[in-house]
Amino acid sequence: MTATETPRPAAGSDDGWLRAANEHEAVELLHELGCTDGLPVIVPTPERVARMVLASGLDGDLMLAELGPALGAATVEKIAVAAVMAGCLPDHMPLVVAAVQAVADPAFDLTEMQATTHCTAPLVIVNGPLAPVLGVHAGFGALGPGFRANASIGRALRLAMINIGGGRAGSADMSLLGHPGKFTYCLAEAEDASPWEPFHVARGFEASQTVVTVIGAEAPHSVIAIADRDVDPGGDRILNALAACVASVSTNNAVLGGGMAVVILNPDHAATLAQAGLSRADVQTALHARAANRRSVLTGQAPAMARRGDPDDLVHCFASPDDICVLVAGGGGLYSMVMPSWCAGPHRNRAVSVAVDTDQACVIPGLSGG
């Protein structure tokens, strides 16, 4: 059935409700109104939304944030609509709420990020005890298909950014190509497989807290390095491979300088670095030092944008080692991943972490499972 074959209900009505004859028609109507990401959604009926709101433990009309560029009011109910549409379980709602609050932090530069021609998308990183309980996957294929919590929580944030924040492709969202992470881009850190303290602890939270961190990121770029303790006992080759990728002269971080980036080490790479005696902070420091380009290379490549100075200077991509977020996830093997960032917003596109408020959320018997 195509949109032209079937008469559609009017978009909206006097009482503010959308109406459709059945589930199928409702999905088509939501597509037609530009309320989806292009994939089918779960229809946010009043009952389903009310159930999601109930699971949050918060009042539906409580306004948690304002999302740009539309400056839409992110009430608990509107976030619940996005969570329902994305296919979340009610139990996922506290994580979705935290992710929305995180992108609304001014340091995240959401308004500018939603409007830019760059491909940036919020990567959602979940840490803490609730991540495994809710099934947020951290192991093999964590950024790929097959994991309901990763798929639906990241998608809920995107639908909130579209329907509350107004970030529709071609009108407000001017990303020239976008990237597949704009559908969903969510994983947990593999804390059990990491030789270091959890990522959220390194960012100042307690291990017992569940924390959602968001960062505007490019699509992940694979980095190959053999974690061989005979050949590369100090982990130098791993560090060099990661630094070369994050400092590529094609990235905004290299050309414009500043901003942040994400480095996701697979557990084997992390173990090799840890056995060489490196802490997470040591890895960040080493990557910061190596993620640099000769100024003459930058001015030769991007004369209009490269920062001026002595052509022989080594220009670091990042202002501080802390600007390189290092976490551990995925299966063990040859490949780690690097996500450079857009880094051009007024706050240079900062990562933002928000603790999940589990005191309010309630598990209601019979509600989990949709």
Contacting residue, 54, 62, 172, 241, with other proteins by CB under 8 A: 172
Q: Collapsing DSSP states into helix, strand and coil, what is residue 121? A: strand
Q: For residue 140, with 0-12 CB atoms within 10 Å meaning exposed, 13-18 middle and 19 or more buried, which class applies?
A: middle
DSSP string covering 78-105: HHHHHHHHHT--GGGHHHHHHHHHHHHS
Cβ closest to other proteins, residue 10 vs residue 176: 176
Contacting residue, 2, 4, 171, 250, with other proteins by CB under 8 A: 171
Cβ closest to other proteins, residue 58 vs residue 67: 67
C-alpha angle with apex 312: 309 to 313, nearest 5 degrees? 60
Pick left, alpha or beta for residue 281 (phi over 0 → left; psi -120 to 50 → alpha; otherwise beta): alpha
CB of 303 to other proteins, least distance (A): 12
- Whole-angstrom Cα Rg for the chain: 21
Selection from 257, 343, 259, 255 nearest residue 300 by Cα: 255
CB of 116 to other proteins, least distance (A): 11
Binding mask 108-147 for other proteins (x = CB under 8 A): -------x--------------------------------
Cβ closest to other proteins, residue 172 vs residue 276: 172
Is 170 near other proteins (CB under 8 A)? yes
Is 68 near other proteins (CB under 8 A)? yes
* Residues of span 173-202 touching other proteins by CB under 8 A: 174
Is 166 near other proteins (CB under 8 A)? yes
Whole-angstrom Cα distance, residue 96 to residue 124?
10
Is 258 near other proteins (CB under 8 A)? no
In the block, tokens 């600007």 appear at: 323
CB of 176 to other proteins, least distance (A): 10
Structure tokens at 150: 């990763």
Whole-angstrom Cα distance, residue 107 to residue 239?
29
Q: 136, 142 in Cβ contact below 8 A?
A: no
CB of 11 to other proteins, least distance (A): 17
CB of 174 to other proteins, least distance (A): 5
| Residues contributing to the site for other proteins (CB under 8 A) | 68-71, 115, 166, 170-172, 174
